[in-house]
A and B are shown apart, each in its own frame.
Chain A
């Protein structure tokens, strides 16, 4: 009976997935939802015997998961994983089913599953997977219209971790919201952090100005960015835990970062081959997971040099000999890191800011006003050109206007055709910062324009 049900579930999921692909639509949400409806315990069933690693937190889940996969032993890298970033229960269910045959048997023997999980679904996923490791990367403001307050997100994560008390938990010690979870859970905890300046220079209002324990004001011996850093509360003595895995020096350039790590008492250097200061955090968090699994840290860290950005995250395209970089930016923190990266470009360039307000993006786009576009505008080359795109392109244009950019230089792109024309006419480098669904949209446009054929598989697992 159980086998029959498993068969129907896998078959339904696979067939719907296949039909959607034929229709030219990607997506694992619908096939996953149908599977869960038919067989609510499907994730638990299909994850039996696997070593599961769950990655949660606000920013960096997809990139960090890809780094973790890349650092696994070579024969294990094709592990089960929701590579596309479909990180709700339905997407996760589908990524397990698509790795099996119609009878729920894995097509190839696998040892690991690396699953990125939306904060709101961690409880269900923890219970189903009984993970070996849970990583919480950080907690920032994101989609308050969907999840309510930051403290609510923190509660969801705590509940999720408590549902898997045997898991080792890797926590960002530099993020007070995340690090203090360590005192509230029964699990074995490992902290990671960055113990050096990240030379970002820009500071602004923080997500957690007040001590969660006593309400006092946090102070920082060192701040890496936003509310991350070597924090402490003078009033009650709460402070950043000493990291088990840390970055002791970092030298970022436009292509990546050279990093010195300290892991336990072993020191070693490695290069991360994806740029952006936030990828330093992604790298050290991924390394902490491998360390918790018992891997040799210096050897595994070497593979950070072979990391490729996952789709839409600092991904490079080429059009008429011009380099186009596509970057996901979907909350103030993410956008600030992108803007910081963009400020490294001193030559005239074309910038596209794309903003949609679909359900998956969060319908509240107010966050763009919290990102430091002022800093970006003040450092920008006067020959830069700016474009805005997406359902909220006019809001984005206003943001650029009030940040101090010359409105003569900002143009609205009305629809896909406008975008394609602007991209192909550009004689400079192009940088595109886009939030979730606008990034998916632009990714499709770039791949069609380029005639790269069907890359849907890469995008949707």
Chain B
């Protein structure tokens, strides 16, 4: 039994701690005896994504996001959109989350066209939203993380939020919603990285990917006492 995972733009979108998410997913598969084949799709690579079960896109700095626009327009953007529509499992963080949406509107009104894989759009905000965060999700319980973004993202159409904000700003600091869910796409502003302290979310993503490949799938439980203690410790210190 195996899962094929790919990390898109590990060379450009690799902001603080993103590696922790891939490490976490790999380990939690390994601990259950599921083989994890890991590939990197970098700037300039044009592999179709149909080979992969689980696709990860991290966050980046502005300098890097500009660079990758041209690369996306050379076909990678369409590949990503097709894979999301096809029900592939995605985890997209921060800059990677924005990228899946329709556009990013700068403060002077100009629009930077993105992939449009999910019905969300982002508008530049005045003030950076930085700090510890928490939200509650129907599917994955309480999720904790750290956010650092200037863009405000708004959901529309068939896109649901990942959770309801308990602490921090979430998508835009206005509507109390955090992250996005569409088909098998999971998107969030939480880095931190988000998965190690939120094993329920990690397992939900893994299960989603495995079920699409193998049909109904029950993940063997793991000892998550250290993970849960880390999460609960933070929630306690934030008085949540």
B16 touches A364 (CB 8 A): yes
Residues facing B in A358-372 (CB within 8 A) are 363-370
Q: Would B64 and A210 count as touching, CB distance under 8 A?
A: yes
B229 at the interface (CB under 8 A from A): yes
Q: Would B197 and A398 count as touching, CB distance under 8 A?
A: yes
Taking the nearest CB of chain A, how far is it from the CB of B4, in angstroms? Answer: 21
For the complex, what is the distance from the CA of A217 to the CA of B20, rounded to whole Å?
24
B62 interface hit (Cβ, 8 Å):
yes
A141 to B11, CA, bound (A): 15
Contact partner, A398, options B16, B132, B227, Cβ 8 Å: B227
Instruction: Tell me whether B193 and A364 are in contact (CB under 8 A).
Output: no
Chain B binder among A145-153, A333-341, A452-460: A145-153
**Complex: A235 Cα to B138 Cα, angstroms:** 49
Nearest CB of B to A199, in Å: 24
Contacts of B67 in A (CB 8 A): 210, 215
Closest residue on chain B to residue A205 by CB atoms: B14
Pair B63/A151 contact, Cβ less than 8 Å: yes
Report whether over half of chain A's contact residues are helix, strand or loop; otherwise say mixed. Answer: helix
A134 to B48 Cα, complex, angstroms: 49
Residues on the B chain within 8 Å of A145, using CB: 130-131, 146, 148
Contact B230 A370 (CB under 8 A): no
In terms of DSSP, what is the predominant structure of the interface of chain B? mixed
B1, CB-defined interface residue at 8 Å: no
Q: Which residues of the partner chain B approach A264 to less than 8 Å between Cβ atoms? A: none
Total inter-chain residue pairs, C-beta < 8 Å: 85
Assembly CA distance A367 to B226 (angstroms): 19
* Interchain CB contact under 8 A, B15 and A144: yes
Q: Is A6 an interface residue (CB 8 A)?
A: no
Does A397 lie at the interface of the complex (its beta carbon under 8 Å from any beta carbon of B)?
A: yes
A148 to B63, CA, bound (A): 12
A398/B196 in contact, CB under 8 A: yes
Contacts of B61 in A (CB 8 A): 149-151
Scan A183-215; emit 1 where CB is below 8 A from any B CB, else 0. Answer: 000000000000000000000010001100001
Q: Hey, which chain A residues are within 8 Å of B27, CB to CB?
A: 402
Asked if B10 CB lies within 8 Å of chain A CBs, one says yes
Q: Quick check: is B192 within 8 A (CB to CB) of the other chain?
A: yes
Q: Which of B36-94 contact A (CB under 8 A)?
A: 43, 61-64, 67
Bound Cα distance A403, B237 (Å): 26
Residues of A within 8 A of B10 (CB): 205
A390 → B minimal CB distance (Å): 12
Inter-chain CA distance A363–B148, complex, in Å, is 11
Known: A149-B62, A210-B64, A364-B146. A398 touches B12 (CB 8 A): no
**How many B residues face the partner with a CB closer than 8 A?**
36
Query: What distance in Å separates the Cβ of A329 from its nearest Cβ neighbour in chain B?
Result: 15
Interfacial chain B residues near A144, Cβ < 8 Å = 15-16, 148
Whether, in the assembled complex, B141 has its beta carbon less than 8 Å from a beta carbon of chain A, the answer is no
Report Cα–Cα, A200/B123, bound state, in Å: 43
B140 at the interface (CB under 8 A from A): no
With A141-B16, A149-B61, A370-B19: A394-B230 Cβ-Cβ less than 8 Å: yes
The answer to the question of B112 belonging to the interface, with a C-beta cut-off of 8 Å to chain A, is no
B217 to chain A, nearest CB (A): 23
- Could you say which residues of chain B place their CB within 8 Å of the CB of A148? 128
> A367 to B16, Cβ gap below 8 A?
yes
Q: Is the CB of B128 within 8 A of A363?
A: no
In the complex, are the beta carbons of A366 and B11 less than 8 A apart?
no
A233 to chain B, nearest CB (A): 14
- A343-377 interface bits toward B, Cβ cutoff 8 Å, 1 = contact, 0 = none: 00000000000000000000111111110001000
B24 within 8 Å of A (CB atoms)? yes
> Known contacts A144-B16, A402-B24: does B197 contact A363 (CB below 8 Å)?
no
Known: A144-B16, A149-B62. A398 touches B226 (CB 8 A): yes
In the complex, residue of chain A having the shortest beta-carbon distance to the beta carbon of B130 = A145
Cβ-neighbour of B229 out of A151, A209, A394 (below 8 A): A394
Contact A369 B20, beta carbon cutoff 8 Å: yes
Would you call B34 an interface residue if the criterion is a C-beta within 8 Å of the partner chain's C-beta atoms?
Answer: no
Contact flags B5-26 to A (C-beta < 8 A → 1, else 0) = 0000011101111111001100
Residue A395 lies at the interface, judged by CB distance under 8 Å to chain B? yes
CB<8 Å pairs between A and B, sample of 8:
A149-B63, A210-B63, A366-B192, A394-B233, A395-B230, A398-B226, A401-B226, A402-B27
Q: Which 9 A-B pairs have the closest CB atoms?
A: A366-B17, A369-B20, A394-B230, A149-B61, A369-B17, A366-B16, A209-B11, A398-B196, A364-B146
Give A contacts to B, CB under 8 Å: 141, 144-145, 148-151, 205, 209-210, 215, 217, 363-370, 374, 391, 394-395, 397-399, 401-403, 407
Q: A369-B16, A369-B193 are in contact. List 17 more A-B contacts (CB 8 A).
A: A141-B16, A145-B131, A148-B128, A149-B63, A210-B64, A364-B16, A364-B146, A365-B146, A367-B17, A369-B18, A369-B19, A369-B20, A369-B23, A370-B20, A397-B226, A398-B196, A398-B197
